[in-house]
Amino acid sequence: MSLLEIKNLCTYFEAEAGQVKAVDGVSLSIDKGEVVAIVGGSGSGKTVLALSILRLVPEPGRIVSGEILFGGADLVKMPIKELRDVRGRKISMIFQEPMTCLNPVFTVGDQIVEALEVHEPAITQKMATSRAAELLNMVGIADGSKRLRSYPHELSGGQRQRVMIAMALACSPDILIADEPTTALDVTVQAQILDLLNKLHEDIGMTTILITHDFGIVAQNADRVYVMHEGRIAESGAVEDIFARPKDEYTKKLLAAVPVL
């Protein structure tokens, strides 16, 4: 059985100008330990799909139909109280622009400790602090215990993204959703963050949904890929197969944009 299975999901926005079918009948599945990529151009519905999984789609967006099966339950129908337990603790998400997700007035230590406390209310301050430092070391921020006292603006873009990943990992989630974790960063940092995600996959078998517009990133990081176009899955399969024999015209176009590896 898949860890997560999405069946025929539709998420629409009711705008004044008309209905936007951001996600229009998407089905996909991910097994434990897999890295699955969702690749597609800007506006293809990747972020809305990811937000739908956690039921965080902003108004006027709405899941209109479909199922999101996780651990035997349908997240679409789950009461909000139970859903809170899934968000962060079981399924964590890192967003496109890390600065907007970190609170500028608190140190990164405060924020990681808070993430730990939310999900483990019984944890002592001392335990939480040492776990926070461990998490920073785990995501490649040297001298974690000292870095806990830094404010977000004192860190580089790459370090902030690492802090976001540390926060996402704070509760040892079953699934990590990384939405274009690298677009806001320069190429070297981008490579380091992807290496980090790969390392987490190798070290702790992190099940990851990697969202990107870049087929080059898919090739180096994912086992399977879903190509998304205008709210639908244009094509899906093992990364090697899609690279070797793309069937869909849109996939061919995306692949043509990748420099020869």
Ligand X SMILES: Nc1ncnc2c1ncn2[C@@H]1O[C@H](COP(=O)(O)OP(=O)(O)OP(=O)(O)O)[C@@H](O)[C@H]1O
48 forms part of the interface with ligand X (CB under 6 A): yes
Q: Considering beta carbons, is residue 207 or 212 the nearer one to ligand X?
A: 212
Here the tokens at position 23 are 């996600």
- CB nearer to Mg ion: give 119 or 213: 213
* CA R_g for the chain: 18
| Binding residue for ligand X, selected from 4, 6, 22, 254, defined by CB under 6 A | 22
DSSP 60: T
Q: Is 20 in the site for ligand X (CB under 6 A)?
A: yes
Give the one residue of 37, 47, 166, 210 binding ligand X; rule: CB under 6 A: 47
Q: Are strands 61-70 and 232-238 parallel, antiparallel or unpaired?
A: unpaired
Task: Give residues with Cβ within 8 angstroms of 109, minimum separation 6.
Answer: 129, 132, 133, 147, 148, 149, 150
Residue 44 near ligand X by CB under 6 A: yes
Binding site for Mg ion (CB under 5 A): 46-47
Q: How many residues bind ligand X (CB under 6 A)?
A: 15
The CB-nearest residue to Mg ion is 47
- In the complex with ligand X, the residue whose CB is nearer, 138 or 233, is 233
- Map the footprint of ligand X across residues 188-227, applying CB under 6 A: 213
Decide if 54 contacts 87 (C-beta within 8 A): yes
Q: Which is nearer to ligand X, 35 or 211 (CB)?
A: 211
User: Is 45 one of the binding residues for ligand X (CB under 6 A)?
Assistant: yes
Taking the C-alpha atoms of residue 154 and residue 149, their distance in angstroms, rounded to an integer, is 10
Cα 6 to Cα 93: distance, rounded to the nearest angstrom: 17
Q: Which helix (H) or strand (E) holds 91?
A: strand 91-94
Q: Which residues bind ligand X (CB under 6 A)?
A: 13, 15, 20, 22, 40, 42-48, 58, 61, 213
